Copies of this chain bind each other. A is one copy, B any other.
Amino acid sequence: MEILEAAARLFAARGFHGVSIEDIGAAVGTSGPALYRHFSGKEALLSEMLLDISERLHASAAARVTAAPDAEHALDALLTGQIEFALGHPALITVHDRELGNVPEPARRQIRRLQRLYVEEWVTVLSELHPGCPPPRLRAATHAVFGLLNSTPHSAGELPPEAMAPLLRAMARAAFTEAGN
């Protein structure tokens, strides 16, 4: 949806409470209250947005892992997916890890669940690659690598995406390898 794209850009730039319904309307060429024909309210819009992102990330990860022949390739595929997403949709990534606190309770739990499942895809693969490494350590390492990969919005423009993607991948792999010891 075009509305969600525009809202994501605005939320990423100024934060959920820093953006008005009128702002979002203006960004899609309509004015303000027209959005209530599509969303029941501002919080519902945010809920739908985060739910959509979480679902896409988790579904893509699950598909990639089951399609991979072994853990080594699975990790590569996970990295590819996350890097593509981070480079292709920086606003969505930004909102995804900043605005969960503003989602009201029914949806909040669901989003957390999907995020947890996403992390567990990574941890499962890593466990196979580094048996004997305690899962909490792998979980912490996974979060750290997410932070590394999602740094993209901050370093915008330092490198072209064609150079950024392999750099991020190499750094992430090295970091994981080191974390496995």
Contact = CB atoms under 8 A, between A and B. Distances in A.
15 contacts: A15-B18, A15-B101, A137-B159, A137-B167, A139-B155, A140-B164, A144-B149, A144-B168, A144-B171, A146-B154, A148-B175, A167-B179, A171-B175, A174-B174, A175-B175
B141 A171 contact: yes
A147 interface: yes
Interface string A127-147: 000000000110111011111
Among the interface residues A149, A154, A170, which one has the most CB atoms of the partner chain B within 10 A?
A154
A30 B115 CA distance: 38
A18 B100 CA distance: 13
A95 B159 CA distance: 25
Contacts of A167: 137, 140-141, 144, 179
A18 B99 CA distance: 11
A163 B147 contact: no
B178 A159 contact: no
Q: Nearest 6 pairs between A and B by C-beta?
A: A147-B151, A17-B17, A174-B178, A143-B155, A171-B175, A147-B147
